[in-house]
């Protein structure tokens, strides 16, 4: 895992050089994800015992977050979709095998898929859920004939989902649903590799992602019409999986936001330095505040990673959630202030700052929505 950041660094450099063209994209390029796979990113997110690079949350959160931070500064949309892969694998990687043979068998198969080059993603959010993946109205009906290439019990899923970032790129996507006859939600895996979106394969495209922020993430909305899926074999509640992986996942998304802001400040600095003598007092203050808030983002990120590295679930989740939410708020402030100093040209489609501002807003609103985020912060603040 320690070599991962060095392995993806040349990609980040190449993508920065292509920024002008990448800013205009509204779709993902599969070649970017093949390049990430070739650099070892997909395999690195699986455990060492499975042939990957993931040791455990405590030892792997820093190098993986560091790699995503670098990628976030080069192409935020690609970095966000890439971050889904380790985030999803964490449901299996951060929860031990225990005594459940079905869970152990499924874990091995999930990790083997990543090592062999399969991209994982998620399509869990639903309209009206407020971003809470446990508030699902999707129904899962058992179907023993279902085969998605992973061990586990087969189901057919019916319900609507949106924000499926990486649609068309991911080979497997996790989602949540409530199995018939049960009250609590469970985690399911959809085989999304080469699956048609006309309903014939159980998935119908409702709307392509057309957001003004993170516009190239292909965060499409889908109608699951009997979509084949396999249920996560973990014998406990969904909350166990989310608690074990939550801090780690928060750090990964925070890294993407921070990488973008790193790049925005670094890009603005030479221009501002060149006209420093002509800056008005207000512009001097705005630059100083932007630089200070960027520094605060770095400290928050470091605090979230260190909290996760303690291995204490309570400390980890509260620290990582605070870092993510503080980072989301500060990111908007930093990029807004940079625009005020650099002037109206930052609203041009040719300017990266116009795109970056919408990107950080999208990350703050969608990962997760503000209301749900503060629910989690309040709940963990008193524990």
Express each pLDDT in 132-150 by its tens digit: 888 999 999 999 999 999 9
In this chain, the answer to whether the domains covering 120-231 and 238-381 adopt an identical fold is: no
Q: 238-381 adopts what CATH topology?
A: Butyryl-CoA Dehydrogenase, subunit A; domain 3 (1.20.140)
End-to-end CA distance of the chain: 32
Q: 4-115 adopts what CATH topology?
A: Butyryl-Coa Dehydrogenase, subunit A; domain 1 (1.10.540)
Task: Look at the block and give the residue holding tokens 């990029």.
Answer: 335
- The domain 120-231 is classified under which CATH number: 2.40.110.10, 3.40.50.10420, 1.10.1330.10, 1.10.40.60? 2.40.110.10
Percent of the chain with pLDDT over 90: 86
pLDDT in tens, 277-329: 999 999 999 999 999 999 999 999 999 999 999 999 999 999 999 999 999 99
* Residue range 214-234: mean pLDDT, rounded: 97
**Is the separation of the CB atoms in 249 and 87 below 8 Å?**
yes
What are the sequence ranges of the domains in the chain? 4-115, 120-231, 238-381
Q: In sequence order, what are the residues at sequence separation of 6 or more whose Cβ sits closer than 8 angstroms to the Cβ of residue 319?
A: 247, 303, 304, 306, 307, 308
- Cβ atoms within 10 Å of 23's Cβ, excluding its own: 18
Percent of the chain with pLDDT over 70: 98
pLDDT in tens, 81-114: 999 999 999 999 999 887 779 999 999 999 999 9
What length is written for the chain?
Answer: 383
* Residue range 224-244: mean pLDDT, rounded: 96
Average pLDDT value for the chain: 94
């Amino acid at each position: 895992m320690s070599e991962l950041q060095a392995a993806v660094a040349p990609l980040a450099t190449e993508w920065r050089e292509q920024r002008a063209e990448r800013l205009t994209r509204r779709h993902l390029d599969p070649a970017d994800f093949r390049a990430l796979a070739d650099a070892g990113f997909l395999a690195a997110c699986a455990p060492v015992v499975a042939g990957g690079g993931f040791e455990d949350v405590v030892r792997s959160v820093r190098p993986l977050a560091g790699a995503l931070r670098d990628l976030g500064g080069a192409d935020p949309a690609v970095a966000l979709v890439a971050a889904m892969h380790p985030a999803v694998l964490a449901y299996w990687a951060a929860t031990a095998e225990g005594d459940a043979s079905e869970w152990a068998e499924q874990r091995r198969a999930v990790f083997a898929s990543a090592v062999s080059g399969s991209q994982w993603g998620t399509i869990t959010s639903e309209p009206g859920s407020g971003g809470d993946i446990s508030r699902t109205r999707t129904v899962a009906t058992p179907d023993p004939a279902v085969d998605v290439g992973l061990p586990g019990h087969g189901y057919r899923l019916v319900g609507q989902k949106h924000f499926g970032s990486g649609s068309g790129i991911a080979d497997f996507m996790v989602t949540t649903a409530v199995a018939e006859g049960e009250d609590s939600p469970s985690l399911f895996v959809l085989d999304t590799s080469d699956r048609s979106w006309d309903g014939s394969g159980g998935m119908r495209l409702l709307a392509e992602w057309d957001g003004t922020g993170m516009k190239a993430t292909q965060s499409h909305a889908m109608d699951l019409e009997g979509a084949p899926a396999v249920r996560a074999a973990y014998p406990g509640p969904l909350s166990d999986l989310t608690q074990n992986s939550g801090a780690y996942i928060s750090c990964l998304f925070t890294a993407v936001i921070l990488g973008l802001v790193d790049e925005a400040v670094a890009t603005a600095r030479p221009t501002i330095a060149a006209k420093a003598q002509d800056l008005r007092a207000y512009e001097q203050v705005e630059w100083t505040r932007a630089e200070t808030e960027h520094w605060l983002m770095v400290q928050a990120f470091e605090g979230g990673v260190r909290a996760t590295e303690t291995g204490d679930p309570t400390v980890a989740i509260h620290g990582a959630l605070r870092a993510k939410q503080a980072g989301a708020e500060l990111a908007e402030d930093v990029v807004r202030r940079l625009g005020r100093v650099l002037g109206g040209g930052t609203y041009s489609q040719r300017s990266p700052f116009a795109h970056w501002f919408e990107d950080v807003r999208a990350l703050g609103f969608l990962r997760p929505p503000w209301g749900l985020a503060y629910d989690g912060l309040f709940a963990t603040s008193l524990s």
